[in-house]
Amino acid sequence: MAMSTSVPTEGGPPVPPPAERHDRSLVELLDDLPALDDTIVVHSTAGTLSHAGLRAAVSAVADALTRAGVGPGHPVGALVGSGMTGVVAMFAVWTVGAVYMPINRRSTGREVADLLADTPVSLLLGTAPDLAELAGFAEPAELAELDRQTGLLGEPREPRELGELGLVELDETEWSATVRRPASAPAAAYDGDIALVLRTSGTTGKPKAVLLRHRSTIDALDSSLRKLRRRGPAPREKRPTIRVNLIPLSLALWSGIFNTLFSLRAGFGVVLLDRFTPPVFAAAVHTHRLKSTVLAPAMITMLCDSDEIDTLEPLEIVRSITAPLSPATARRFHERFGVLVLNSYGQTELGGEVVGWTIEDIRSFGTEKLGAAGRPYDDVDLRVLDENDEDVALGELGHIHIRSPFRMRGYAAADGSPEPPDDDRIVDGFLRTGDIGRMDADGFLWIEGRVSDMINRGGLKIFPDEVEEVLRRHPSVRDAAVAGVPDGRLGEVPHAWIVPQSGEIDAAALEAWCRERLVAYKVPVAFAVVETMPRSDVGKLLRRQLRATVAPPEVTL
């Protein structure tokens, strides 16, 4: 990280001097696309962008960022969703050498204010409606803080400070950008190789800001290409039409960004869905004749439950990403649509996917290993360790540790400097992922769940995923979640929350079902009905919200 005194820019507050530029940049992915200017490379419900149109849009926004005083190493927050704005914004930020921090355009004012307090940026980039809507989302007590940082609410309520955010307004109809206020001076500029500041999912606590590098992200993309296609980036050739990949994920999330970059690195265009619904997804699959795509587990469940679609032809394979998919749901999806669903595994801290399936794996094992995450990538090392950090035997459960060349630079501190993971998360260069799993004799990784989700019932360990898998196989259950809740005698006991296929549930029948398939201590002590499961933006189950619905045990002295 480069640190020095600020230098003034014309018409605005001082900003730090540029950080050193490095020899690799994700901007080069635009060069991986076929070079015919009128080749359509981005499709969305709002329209399309050709190769020439994408480059022109990126150039226009990059020019505005430069005029606003943004340079190499300066962090830029971008309000994005699932549309083309995210593609244009991130390449524009990288074009000027700045650091891209996506912010979900659906975030509330409080969330954005907290985000900016934890991870300062020099400038906020977004459309006029998105910038204005931030204020509309905020509660009265939040408005002053949001106004202090952005000035979106009109006249200032207090004297402006030097460190206020710059603003660049983006026009999606003309793909132009207007500088509303020059970039502010961050505490420091990041090193020139930092490409992204990404938030973790925060399923077990407060999200952290992860720093990813240009070089390592490009290497991660190439590793994924070799794993899935057994070859590297596509040759740069002129083609009037190109294959496309469907990205039904928000570009405010690493999963959406990574799969978009993966497509471009492969020489493919992208199809973006502004909003995921089963009919919209099925129509996109049919229109673009897609044989494979990626989906979050919650989306797969929505498709299984939908009575609005009959087929997903010509789809053949879905890669489930962002969170583990239960084998029961994978089988249900395959039985209904004839589409094979394969799990994968990765973390934001690891820089992307590090475990997955090859075409050869699919041919050899097919439905035999439904639910497995796959096998480690060639340049990734994986160990399963016990509580004493010793390797466990094949088939035994342990803590998953991974050594990846794509690993994060570190976590972003409040002043923008990188902080390494806690010492107890690193074992001989391997990152402790926080997940429990096992390796089978064929080298496939099976995820059992998060360490933080494990239930300790009087010293007996219970993994919620195992119990949920049993419950989901009951014909009256559409979805199930299990979490440990406090118990005065045993410490914790398992509770179950059920989304029924219809109406109410028969708790006694579900308990009997579990007792036939599980050892007694794993059987939930209570069953509750919920309409939907609380999930994060990437579809991960938020068990802590379910736990909060259970009253704590009474304590007697």
- CA 375 and chain centroid, separation: 21
Q: How far apart are the first and last CA of the chain?
A: 55
pLDDT of residue 201: 67
Least confident range from 119-128, 130-139, 260-269: namely 130-139
Which of 147, 142, 141 is CA-nearest to residue 165?
A: 147
Work out whether strand 317-320 and strand 123-127 pair parallel, antiparallel, or are unpaired. unpaired
Is the dihedral angle over the CA atoms 285, 289, 292, 293 positive or is it negative? negative
What whole-number distance in Å separates Cα of residue 310 and Cα of residue 341? 18
What whole-number distance in Å separates Cα of residue 166 and Cα of residue 189? 15
Can you tell me the mean pLDDT for 63-70? 94
pLDDT of residue 202: 59
Contact indicator for 354, 398 with CB cutoff of 8 Å? no
Can you tell me the mean pLDDT for 110-117? 77
Largest CA distance in the chain: 78
> Torsion angle of alpha carbons 113, 117, 121, 124, nearest 10°?
10
Range ranked top by mean pLDDT from 177-181, 437-441, 454-458: 437-441
What whole-number distance in Å separates Cα of residue 384 and Cα of residue 140? 49
Least confident range from 366-380, 384-398, 507-521: namely 366-380
pLDDT of residue 2: 30
pLDDT of residue 527: 95
Distances (CA, A) of 245 to 6, 41, 92, 279, 373: 43, 10, 22, 18, 21
What whole-number distance in Å separates Cα of residue 286 and Cα of residue 227? 27
pLDDT at 133 over 70: no
Q: What is the 3-state secondary structure (H, E, C) of 154-202?
A: CCCCCCCCCCCCEEEEEECCCCEEEEEECCCCCCCECCCCEEEEEECCC
pLDDT of residue 161: 35
Contact indicator for 224, 356 with CB cutoff of 8 Å? yes
What whole-number distance in Å separates Cα of residue 343 and Cα of residue 300? 12
- Give the residue with greater pLDDT, 158 vs 510: 510
pLDDT band at 322 (very low <50, low <70, confident <90, very high): confident
Q: Is there a common fold for 7-15+51-210 and 213-407+421-451?
A: yes
Q: What is the pLDDT of residues 9-29, one digit of tens each?
A: 333 333 344 444 456 799 999
pLDDT at 328 over 50: yes
The domain ranges of the chain are 7-15+51-210, 213-407+421-451, 454-547
pLDDT band at 414 (very low <50, low <70, confident <90, very high): low
- Give the residue with greater pLDDT, 227 vs 157: 227
pLDDT band at 76 (very low <50, low <70, confident <90, very high): very high
Is the dihedral angle over the CA atoms 382, 384, 387, 388 positive or is it negative? negative
What whole-number distance in Å separates Cα of residue 395 and Cα of residue 397? 7
- CA 203 and chain centroid, separation: 12
Can you tell me the mean pLDDT for 115-129? 85
pLDDT of residue 19: 47
pLDDT at 499 over 90: yes
pLDDT of residue 285: 96
What whole-number distance in Å separates Cα of residue 235 and Cα of residue 38? 18
Which of 494, 391, 368 is CA-nearest to residue 438?
A: 391
In single-letter form, the type of residue at position 447 comes to: I
For the chain, what is the mean pLDDT? 83
Looking at domain 213-407+421-451, its CATH superfamily turns out to be ANL, N-terminal domain (3.40.50.12780)
Instruction: Please tell me whether the peptide bond between 235 and the residue prior to it is cis, using omega within 30 degrees of 0.
Output: no
What whole-number distance in Å separates Cα of residue 384 and Cα of residue 551? 36
Which of 477, 503, 502, 494 is CA-nearest to residue 543?
A: 494
Contact indicator for 382, 400 with CB cutoff of 8 Å? yes
Which of 132, 21, 112, 36 is CA-nearest to residue 71?
A: 21
HSE (side-chain half, CA atoms, 13 Å) at 255? 26
pLDDT at 420 over 90: no
pLDDT of residue 548: 86
pLDDT of residue 544: 85
CATH architecture of 454-547: 2-Layer Sandwich (3.30)
The crossing angle, in degrees rounded to 10, of helices 109-118 and 140-150 is 50
In single-letter form, the type of residue at position 538 comes to: V
Cβ within 8 Å of residue 165, ≥6 positions away? 77, 116, 121, 122, 123, 124, 149, 150, 151, 181, 184
Q: Exposed e or buried b for every residue in 71-108, given b needs 16+ CB within 10 A? A: bbbbbbbbbbbbbbbbbbbbbbbbbbbbbbbbbbbebb
State both tokens at 128: 């006029």
Contact indicator for 264, 306 with CB cutoff of 8 Å? no
Which of 158, 159, 149 is CA-nearest to residue 181?
A: 149
pTM: 0.81
What whole-number distance in Å separates Cα of residue 45 and Cα of residue 356? 30
- CA 51 and chain centroid, separation: 26
Residues of the chain with pLDDT > 70, as a percent, come to 82
* Residue spans of beta strands (DSSP E) within 468-520: 477-487, 491-500
> CATH number for the 7-15+51-210 domain, one of 3.40.50.720, 3.30.465.10, 3.40.50.980, 3.40.50.80?
3.40.50.980
State both tokens at 180: 């509303």
Cβ within 8 Å of residue 393, ≥6 positions away? none
Contact indicator for 72, 48 with CB cutoff of 8 Å? no
The crossing angle, in degrees rounded to 10, of helices 51-67 and 84-95 is 60
State both tokens at 508: 């006694």
